[in-house]
A = this chain, B = another copy of it.
Amino acid sequence: MIKARVTVTLKNGVLDPQGKAIEGALSGLGFQGVGHVRQGKVFDIELEGTDRNAAEANLKDMCERLLANTVIENYTLALD
């Protein structure tokens, strides 16, 4: 069993209204010195087997086809 964490973040230059809303909310709560905030997603995925190379290839494929919109998002993989 391989455990992987996929992190999907917006590419630079892509507007992030959710991040902007969080910036505003943090200011509203009185937090000072908060600069840009950007929100992304993480997926913790369990994969059967022990072949890390196969798992990584598989995960890349999952990202390209489902987990990330590669037009506007980057993804990174981290295997346990």
A59 to chain B: closest CB distance in Å?
A: 9
Which residues of chain A from 48 to 62 have any CB-CB distance to chain B below 8 Å in the complex? 48-49, 58, 61-62
Number of this chain's copies in the complex: 2
Find chain B residues with CB under 8 A from A42 CB: 7, 9, 39-42
A23 to chain B: closest CB distance in Å?
A: 9
Which residues of chain A from 1 to 47 have any CB-CB distance to chain B below 8 Å in the complex? 1, 7, 9, 19, 22, 25-26, 29, 31-47
Contact A35 B48 (CB under 8 A): yes
Binding site for B on A (CB under 8 A): 1, 7, 9, 19, 22, 25-26, 29, 31-49, 58, 61-62, 65-67
